[in-house]
Amino acid sequence: MGDPFYITTAISYPNGRPHIGHAYEAIAADAIARFQRQAGRDVRFQTGTDEHGLKMVQTARDRAVAVADLATEMSSYFRAMCDNFNISYDRFIRTTDSDHYTASQAIWRAMEASGDLYLDRYEGWYSVRDEAFYDEKELTEGEGGAKLSPQGTPVTWTAEETWFFRLSKYQEPLLELYRNNPDFIRPESRRNEVMRFVEGGLSDLSVSRTSFDWGVPVPDSPGHVMYVWVDALTNYLTGVGYPDGDMAHWPADLHLIGKDIVRFHAVYWPAFLMSAGIALPKTVFGHGFVLHRGEKMSKSLGNVVDPGDLASAFGVDALRYFLLREVSFGQDGSYSAEAIVTRVNAELANSFGNLAQRTLSFIAKNLGTLPPDGRAEDADGVLIEEVIVAAAGLKAAFGDLMLSQGIEAWMRGVFACNQYIDAQAPWALRKTDPDRMNAVLRTLVRAIRILAIAIFPVIPTGAAAILDQLGVAPEERDHAGIDDDSWYARRVANGSPVAAPTPVFPRLEMPAEAA
C-alpha cells in the first residue's frame, strides 16, 4: 500500500434529516478520497453521525421517543444519503459505538493526567442549537432584546457543576501553531478569523454536563457526561484505533468541515490533542455554505430541499459534478434547478458525453473494433499533449484542494477534443482517407480515456461507464498510468469488439416543479 491518507468529514448532528449542505461536504470529501486512491495513497475516509447532546434529548422528548431510538433512526438517513451519493467511506461512525466510548474516555484520562481538567461551577450563556458556550462579548441582540449567538441562535443562561478544560493555557501554543503552519487552517480567510478569536483571549472551557445523561460518562465522576464536542471531535481518533490500535493513519491529513464549526476544530481540538500528547491533524478546511438561489436554506422560508430529491430529479453524477464545478471550494455557492440544468447540459451532456458518444458510435458502426494505427499528423500529438496537460491541471488543483479550478482545467481538454474532432471530420475521412481516419479515431479514444480517468473522482459512475465502453480495466484507471496507452495495443491485438455505446450523460430537462 502507498502512503497513508486520512480524510474525515464533520460528523452530522442527526436531530433533523440531511440537507444539501451535508451532501455537498460528503461529495467533496469523496472526490478527494477517490483522487488520493488514484494517486496510490492508502486512503481511510470516515464520516458518520454525532448523536449525543442536549439537542437530541429535546428532539426525542418532543417526538415522545427514546433518544437512543431517535439516534438510530436519524443516523440511518445520513448513511442512506452517503450511499445514495456513491460516497466511498471506509467507516460510517456513530458516536454511540462502543469503541467510541472507549476512545473518548481515554482522551479524557490523558487530558486529566496532564493536569488540564478541574472541577468547578459554570455560569454563562449556552446555545442548545449550536451546542456551544459563548462569552457575553460575542452575543448579539435580537428582536425584543433577546440575546443571540454569533450564529443568530437563541442562548440561555446555564448554571451547573462542570469539569473545565484549561483552554487558556493553550492560547500561545495555538497561535504558534497557526504562525508556523499556515496550512493548518484553510482557506486563509478562516485562518484569519481563528487567529483573531484566539488573540482576543481564551477562557477555560466547560467540558461536562450534569443536566442530562445522554452522552459519554466522565470517568470516575458520577452524574457527569462529556460536553458533546469533546466526544464528537474524538471520533476522528476512534476511527484509527485509539487508544490501543496502531493508528497508522494518524495524524489526519484533512478534516473537511463547514465554516460554522471551524472554531471547534481549529481551537478546541488541537488544544485537546496537545494536552493528551497526540499528534495534530495536518489541515482543517472550512468550506462554505450551499445556498438556494443565493439564500441560506431554512424551514421558515420553505426552501429546504432533500438532497435525495435533487439526485432523483437530476442524477447523482450530475449533481456531484454541478456542486464541485459551480462552487469555488472554500467559498459560499448557490444552486437552482436552472443552474444545474445549464451547467450539466453544457459540459457533461453536450461536451464530454457527446464527445464519447459520437466517437464510440462511429467506431462501432464503421469498424466494430478499435482502429489500428493509421497515418499520424502533428495535430494528433498536439491534442494528446493538451489533454495530458488538462489532466495534470486537474491533478495539481485537486492536490491543493482547488476542486472547481481542477474541473475547469479538465474542461479545457474536453473542449480541445471537440475542436479536434470537428476539424478532422472522421466521417468525411472514412470515404477519402481511411488510414488517416484510423489515426484520428485512435487519438480520440486515447484522449477520452485520459479525460475519463481524470474526472473519475467527481463522476465515478459515468466515468466508469465510459471506461468500460472503451475496454479499460479497473486496474488501469489510476493517475500513474494516465498517459500510458499500452492498453490500446492490447485491445487492438485482441480484436476486442466495440459495441454501440449507451449514452452516459443524457441532456437534462427542467423538472416540472423546479427545485
Higher model confidence: residue 252 or residue 515?
252
Could you tell me which residues come within 8 angstroms of residue 136 by beta carbon, excluding any fewer than 6 positions away?
A: 124, 125
Average pLDDT over residues 26-41: 97
* Residue 300: pLDDT over 60: no
Give the span between the Cα atoms of 369 and 67, in whole angstroms: 60
Please give the average per-residue pLDDT across 302-322, as a whole number. Answer: 90
CA atoms within 13 A of residue 2's CA, in its CB half-sphere: 13
Contacts for 177-183: CB closer than 8 Å, 24+ residues apart: 177/270, 177/280, 183/282, 183/283
Strand ranges for 193-265 from DSSP E: 205-206, 208-209, 225-226, 254-258
- Cβ pair 154, 255 in contact under 8 A: no
Q: Is the pLDDT of residue 515 over 60?
A: no
Q: Using one digit for the tens of pLDDT, what is the confidence trace for 446-505?
A: 999 999 999 999 999 999 999 999 999 888 888 877 878 888 888 888 888 899 999 999
The per-residue DSSP string of 486-514 comes to HHHHHHHHHT-B-PPPPPSSPPP---SS-
| pLDDT, mean of residues 39-47 | 97
C-alpha–C-alpha distance, residues 235 and 274, integer Å: 16
Identify any residues that bridge with 133 across adjacent strands, giving them in sequence order: 126
| Lowest-confidence segment of 58-62, 292-296, 423-427, 452-456 by average pLDDT | 292-296
In this structure, how many other beta carbons lie within 10 angstroms of the beta carbon of residue 145?
Answer: 6
With b for 16 or more beta-carbon neighbours within 10 A and e for fewer, the 415-438 pattern comes to: bbbeebbeebebeebbeeeeebbb
Query: What are the backbone dihedrals phi and psi of residue 217, each rounded to the nearest 5 degrees, phi first?
Result: -60, 140
List, in sequence order, every beta strand (DSSP E) within 86-187. Answer: 91-94, 117-127, 132-134, 140-141, 147-148, 156-165, 185-186
Alpha carbon 117 to its chain centroid, in Å, reads 34
Over residues 376-414, the pLDDT tens digits come to 999 999 999 999 999 999 999 999 999 999 999 999 999
236, containing H or E segment: helix 235-238
- Please state, rounded to an integer, the average pLDDT across all residues of the chain: 93
- Residues 202-259 pLDDT 10s: 999 999 999 899 999 999 999 999 999 999 999 999 999 999 999 999 999 999 999 9
Q: Is the dihedral of CA 192, 194, 195, 196 positive or negative?
A: positive
CA of 215: how far to CAs of 40, 51, 184, 241, in Å?
A: 39, 8, 30, 20
pLDDT in tens, 143-172: 777 889 887 888 888 778 999 999 999 999
Per-residue confidence (pLDDT) for residue 484, from 0 to 100: 81
Tell me the residue type at 77: Y
Evaluate if residue 134 carries a pLDDT over 90.
no
3-state SS record for 450-480: HHHHHHCCCCHHHHHHHHHHHCCCHHHCCHH
**What's residue 299's pLDDT?**
54
Burial pattern 120-140, b for ≥16 Cβ within 10 A else e, equals eebeebbbbbbbbbbeeeebe
- 252/235 Cα distance (integer angstroms): 12
**pLDDT tier for residue 297 given thresholds of 50, 70 and 90:** low
Mean pLDDT of 76-99: 98
Cα(320)–Cα(309) distance, integer angstroms: 14
